[in-house]
């Protein structure tokens, strides 16, 4: 199993540009989530999904969109990039037998710089 | 709002020293508690977790953590650290089995050989 994969690993954007961060998992996990990690702030939840066709907002959803058309894929879209979105983005997945209270499996992260 | 606090942002220890990293949360209901670790250049991975039962839980690589409900704490311990324990450690709390994890800010641990 590849586990959770993310692409790209690094990206530089100009303010106002849009892009999609890709996330895929091959463990048949129903729960998938996107976090951003900023220095001194730990991980903050952006959006999550409990299954195909079902998504919901996390703590910091503004400026991001998600969709979940398949169990495997959970892309994160930046609609109009801003410097405040410079961060490291992590995708994670788990079996949601008790909400987010299961072990989460993380991807390697995407480092995004917005100029 | 619910929050998770990790007391130390940076900890530097010598090999064979004992380790205790603090984690406190602000929530009075049912919690699931986690410690995750990120070794340099690697993915975040689970170190240990508490759901119910014995409040002293053991994880990988000799780590353990104790859930003290009255203190809203879930401190991570290791009796004798190794250079390979150099990593960033995160405490995370799931409250009332909802769909969100609340994370602490992380503690960067450096072990001097």
Residue A88, φ and ψ in degrees, nearest 5: -110, 130
A54 to chain B, minimum CA–CA distance in Å? 12
Residues of chain A with pLDDT > 90, as a percent, come to: 83
Token representation of residue A22? 């890709």
Subunit contact B4:A50, Cβ cutoff 8 A: no
Determine contact: B45 vs chain A, CB below 8 A: yes
Segment B3-19 shows an average pLDDT of 94
Give the per-residue pLDDT at A100: 58
Subunit contact B103:A50, Cβ cutoff 8 A: no
Average pLDDT, chain B: 93
Give the per-residue pLDDT at A101: 65
Subunit contact B100:A58, Cβ cutoff 8 A: yes
> pLDDT class for B100, splitting at 50, 70, 90?
confident
Q: In 3-state terms, what secondary structure has residue A56? A: strand
- The half-sphere exposure of A36 on its side-chain side, counting CA atoms within 13 A, is 20
Sign, CA dihedral A20-A26-A28-A34, equals negative
Residues 6+ apart with CB under 8 A from A59: A44, A45, A46, B100
Determine contact: B82 vs chain A, CB below 8 A: no
Q: In 3-state terms, what secondary structure has residue B19? A: strand
């Amino acid at each position: 199993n590849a586990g959770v994969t993310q692409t790209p690993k690094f990206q530089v954007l100009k303010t106002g540009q849009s892009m999609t961060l890709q996330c895929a998992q091959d463990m048949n996990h129903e729960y998938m989530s996107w976090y951003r990690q900023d220095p001194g702030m730990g991980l903050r939840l952006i959006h999550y999904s409990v299954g195909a066709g079902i998504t919901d907002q996390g703590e910091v959803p503004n400026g991001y969109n998600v969709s979940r058309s398949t169990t495997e894929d959970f892309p994160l879209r930046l609609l109009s990039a801003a410097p405040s979105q410079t961060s490291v983005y992590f995708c994670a997945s788990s079996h949601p037998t008790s909400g987010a209270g299961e072990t989460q499996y993380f991807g390697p992260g995407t480092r995004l710089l917005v100029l | 709002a619910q929050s998770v606090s990790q007391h130390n942002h940076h900890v530097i220890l010598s090999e064979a020293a004992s380790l205790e990293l603090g984690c406190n949360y602000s929530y009075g209901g049912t919690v699931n508690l986690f410690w995750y670790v990120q070794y340099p250049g690697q993915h975040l991975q689970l170190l240990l977790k508490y759901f119910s039962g014995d409040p002293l839980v053991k994880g990988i690589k000799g780590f353990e953590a104790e859930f003290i409900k009255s203190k809203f704490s879930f401190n991570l311990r290791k009796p004798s650290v190794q250079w390979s324990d150099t990593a960033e450690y995160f405490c995370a709390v799931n409250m009332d089995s909802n769909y969100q994890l609340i994370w602490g800010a992380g503690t960067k641990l450096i072990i001097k050989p």
